[in-house]
Structure 1
Amino acid sequence: MSARNLSFPAAQQAQIIRAHQRDIIHVSSLKEQTENILRSWLGSRWLTRYDKEVELLVKLGYLGLTTGRAIQTLGEEYTNIWSYSALSQSPRVRAGLILLPTIPAYLLARLGPSVASRSDRLKTLVRAAVVSLEVVSEVNLAIFYLRGSYYELVRRVLGVPHISGIPENPHTRPPSYSLLGVLIFIRLVHRLIAFLRSRSRKSIITEKRSANANPEEPHIDARPVSSLLNVTDPQSDPAPSAEDDDLTILDVASLPPDVRAGRICTLCLEERTATCVTECGHLFDWNCIYGWGREKSECPLCRQSLDLTRLLPIYNL
């Protein structure tokens, strides 16, 4: 048989799904190892502040060393499939396969909250962009379960399918995932109905409020209520020094050096600010233990269960 007559079958749904799951496992493992190294070098406080950038760099590195070089990812190699189309060898298409799944999600996660806090209109636009991306991704996933190609939305847009290196067996029937596609469409219809009902309910409430609106905004301690509701994320700002910490009533500057040496957070290895205590009795910075608790629900010292809602602020330690 000549090379011109060689043809490869399209990858089966099970192969594509297993490859995608395998890639997620490898990226998660690589991210965890990277975080452990950076935590030991730079501390938990730095890692909590730049966790989204670390995740982005890990994904870019993984895809850049595989898809960017026009070779299989570890998941594709595991299931013996690879990307192929008339455009798959183009550097622009490979760059799209790397950047489109990572950069927009990072920008929405990192810049979305800060942009949305500037005005209600920007907040509405950011929220609409996130919801629209989720809905389009679910529609693409439902079509994949029904039709069997283009598991990722980016591949459908760029026209880069998967092919398989395993010959088709005419005596076996591949598993069907059509039921999952139908269920996803049912969920989308339910989501649409709930959205329309909430819009109609909000319009009614808005009309009632406008009829009984008070032209003067209420104030608490000479501060408008709207300013009290727009609370910023404590992770977004650098931690203040111990002398400038408003959540410590001690005169830190007057403490003896040996006493201040004991006021060290075991996570960031810096002097504690905004001290809080866990249920097991260990003291940490609020930002440090909060960032740790979002990743692991256990105390970093004794490994007991950690509940972020049960943290107790300590103002005099």
Structure 2
Amino acid sequence: MTGIPVFPQAQQAQIIRAHQRDLYHVSLLREQAENTFRSWLGTRTLTRWDKEFDLLIKLVYYGLTTGRATQTLGEEYTDIWQRTTTVPPSRLTRAALVLLPSLPAYILTRFVNMSSVSAQSPMLAAVLKGLPIALETLTELNLAVFYIRGVYYDVLKRLLRVRHLSSLPENPHTRPPSYSLLGVLIIVRLLYRLKVFLQSKPSTVAEKRGKQVASSRETYLDDRPVSQMLDTVDPESEPAKPAEEDERTMLDVASLPPAIRASRTCTLCLEERTDTCSTECGHLFCWSCIVGWGREKAECPLCRQSLNLTRLLPIYNL
């Protein structure tokens, strides 16, 4: 009577390749979904809900794989499986693996107003500001331990004790590659960062005092600090405005016939153009729409000619 087969632990190379493959498939899914939703909703709407869209893509990908206790495409590519001891992760563990990597960060960036938190509780604001740095350091430390020990690629799986088993039998005649040197180099880099941080602490106090003195000498114009007036504004962050409120046109938009107004539609946001500008190839778009597009693809969305954002021409009579 043969016994129950015992599967070996997944090798480091398998886990690393699976992780890289998952990142590739998530980015590919996001790109294809963006192209589809951009043609339906327009660039402006897609940019406004960019964080929600990114969260949705990750939840869909990992929810349909890890959430259903099946392999991700990366794990399938390298023939590895997630296991807690010798059994598949429970429903609660799988839910944590799907939600915790993305949902808390989304809630923190979307719903937490740092200015109001700073006014109410400076200590809590300092903790929230230092949290990303602490998580990044913890992630790098965990990665160094993974390269040395060979298990638990990310922090969450280490906390939940989720390992990877391989369905491929071990070859006794080959020796798996070692990544211990990478782990040592990461630890050396973390120690160097710690040294720089400890050395820069006294100087930061002096810098804060200098900033307080500089702020007391701030120049105001109509009760507004000049430094705020000189700050650059990201056009994508500005909310969409009706064409009647467009101050950068010489046209009386409200008096135009409906047929003419219908011809003023921006092909990116599918709304009536505001802050109209022309590309070098002569196509017209909203300023914020074409800037958002050009930062992702340096080509005209209509004719695919090369696009240079510094050569956009404002139009005041179209």
Shorter-chain TM band = 0.7 to 0.9
**How much does 1:313 deviate?**
4.4
CA distance in 2, matches of 1:7, 1:231: 61
Q: Identify the residue that residue 201 of structure 1 maps to in structure 2.
A: 203
- Partner Cα separation in structure 2 for residue 245 and residue 193 of structure 1: 53
The superposition leaves residues 28-85 of structure 1 with CA deviations (integer Å, 9 ceiling, x where unpaired) of 2222222222122222221111122122112111111111111111111111100011
Note if contact 1:66-1:73 (Cα within 8 Å) is conserved in structure 2. Answer: yes
Question: Which residue does 2:160 correspond to in 1?
Answer: 158
In 2, Cα distance between the equivalents of 1:149 and 1:95?
21
- For residue 73 of structure 1, what is the amino acid of its counterpart? T
Q: Could you say if the C-alpha distance between residues 235 and 147 of structure 1 is closer, same or farther in structure 2, counting changes exceeding 3 Å?
A: same
Contact 1:48 1:288 in 2 (8 A): no
Residues 1-317 of structure 1: matches in 2 within 5 Å? 2-4=2-4, 6-86=5-85, 88-111=88-111, 115-118=113-116, 120=118, 121=122, 124-208=126-210, 210=212, 212=213, 215=216, 217-225=218-226, 228=229, 234-236=235-237, 238-257=239-258, 259-308=260-309, 311-317=312-318
Structure 2-normalised TM-score? 0.86
Q: 1:303 to 1:169 in 2, by over 3 A?
A: same
* CA distance in 2 between partners of 1:177 and 1:298 (Å): 41
Aligned residues: 313
DSSP 3-state at the match of 2:165 = strand
**Partner AA of 1:101 in structure 2:** P
In 1, are the aligned partners of 2:144 and 2:187 still within 8 Å (CA)?
A: yes
1:139-185 Cα shifts (integer Å, max 9, x gaps): 11111111111112211111101011111112211111122222222
Give the alignment's Cα RMSD to 1 decimal: 2.8
Contact preservation (8 Å) 1:280, 1:304: yes
Report the more deviating stretch, 230-239 or 275-284: 230-239
Q: For residues 298 and 190 of structure 2, what CA distance do their matches in structure 1 show?
A: 32
Distance 1:167 1:213, change over 3 A: closer
TM-score of the two chains, using structure 1 as the length reference: 0.86
Partner amino acid for 1:19? A
> Structure 1 residues 298, 111: closer, same or farther in 2, change over 3 A?
farther
SS in 2 for 1:83: strand
Q: Percent identity?
A: 60
- Residues 259-298 of structure 1: per-residue CA shift (max 9 Å, x gap): 5344322212221112234455433212212322333232
User: 2: distance between equivalents of 1:219 and 1:79?
Assistant: 62
**What amino acid is aligned across from residue 171 of structure 1 in structure 2?**
H
Q: What SS does the aligned partner of 2:285 have? A: strand
Bigger drift between 41-50 and 76-85 goes to: 41-50
Q: Is the 8 A contact 1:145 1:181 kept in 2?
A: yes
Structure 2: where are the runs of 5+ without partners? Answer: none
Q: Unpaired segments of 5 or more residues in structure 1?
A: none
What secondary structure, in the 3-state scheme, does the structure 2 residue paired with 1:243 have? helix
The 2-side partners of 1:80 and 1:142 are apart by: 24
Deviation (angstroms), 1:251: 2.5
**Letter paired with 1:51:** D
Say if 1:8 and 1:189 are closer, same or farther in 2 by CA, change over 3 A: same
Cα distance, 1:232 vs structure 2: 6.9
